[in-house]
Amino acid sequence: MIPEEFSSAASRLCMACGMCCDGTMFQIVRMQPGDVPAELGKLGLKIRCRDGEYYMEQPCSGLQEKRCTVYDRRPVRCRLFNCQQLGRLESGETTEAEAMAMIIETREQVEKVRGLIERCGLREDGQALVERFERLASTPVNEALEPDMVAVREELEATMRKLKLRLNREFRLPPNSH
């Protein structure tokens, strides 16, 4: 794919996806050489520091309707990141239509997980998806008091497992490859 074609296809795909910014795929984005945490913080990004290491929390506050509102000033890590779908599109391994279908299916799975989390009693609170799931999973269901909840929890766990697998196989980059 020629670079101009790739960048317009990538932008259409990202506008339909947003999963690497909205807390679905990542909980944090680590600051890299070249990032100025104080400047990024002034843009409204959630910059935090732990043990002297700066990072940005997700869901990213710079994301509005799946669009990066700080695109020209986004952190280095965001500039360097191309998910597996974009990588495959660039190399010709997949087409835009196939990547779009993958994104739509995956987003449906994400919505299913969100819906199940809400049914389990945890309202949307602006935290990353995995964080919300783990918080819920760490509180066991009281089978005697909420017998119906057992099946909902099982469905949530199974759906989340499938989603994690798909995100690893189709979107995240293998460790140490970036």
Work out which of 27, 37, 41, 63 binds ligand SF4, going by CB under 6 A. Answer: 63
What distance in Å separates the CA atoms of residue 5 and residue 110, rounded to the nearest whole number? 29
Among residues 86, 113, 120, 163, which is the contact residue for ligand SF4, using CB under 6 A? Answer: 86
* Cβ burial 54-68 (10 Å sphere, 16+ → b, else e): bbbbbbbbbbeeeeb
Rounded-to-integer distance, Cα 178 and Cα 175, Å: 7
- Sequence-separated (6 or more) residues with CB below 8 Å from residue 97: none
Alpha-carbon dihedral sign for residues 109, 82, 80, 9: negative
Q: Does 60 bind ligand SF4 (CB under 6 A)?
A: yes
Residue from 6, 28, 46, 68 touching ligand SF4 (CB under 6 A): that is: 68
Which CB atom, from 106 or from 159, has the smaller least distance to ligand SF4? 106
Residue of 77, 36, 84 whose CA lies nearest to 60:
77
CB of 155 to ligand SF4, least distance (A): 25
CB 43 within 8 A of CB 73: yes
Verify binding: residue 70, ligand SF4, rule CB under 6 A. yes
Which span (79-87, 123-131, 135-143, 158-166) binds ligand SF4, by CB under 6 A?
79-87
User: Tokens standing for 22?
Assistant: 């909205």
Please work out the total of residues on this chain that contact ligand SF4, with binding judged by CB under 6 A: 21
Binding to ligand SF4 in span 13-52, by CB under 6 A: 13-14, 17-21, 29
Task: Give least dist CB 51 to ligand SF4, A.
Answer: 22
- Residue 153 in contact with residue 142, Cβ under 8 Å? no
| Region near ligand SF4 per CB under 6 A, out of 30-38, 68-76, 115-123, 140-148 | 68-76
Which residues of the chain form contacts with ligand SF4 (CB under 6 A)?
13-14, 17-21, 29, 60, 62-63, 68, 70, 74-75, 78, 82-83, 85-86, 171
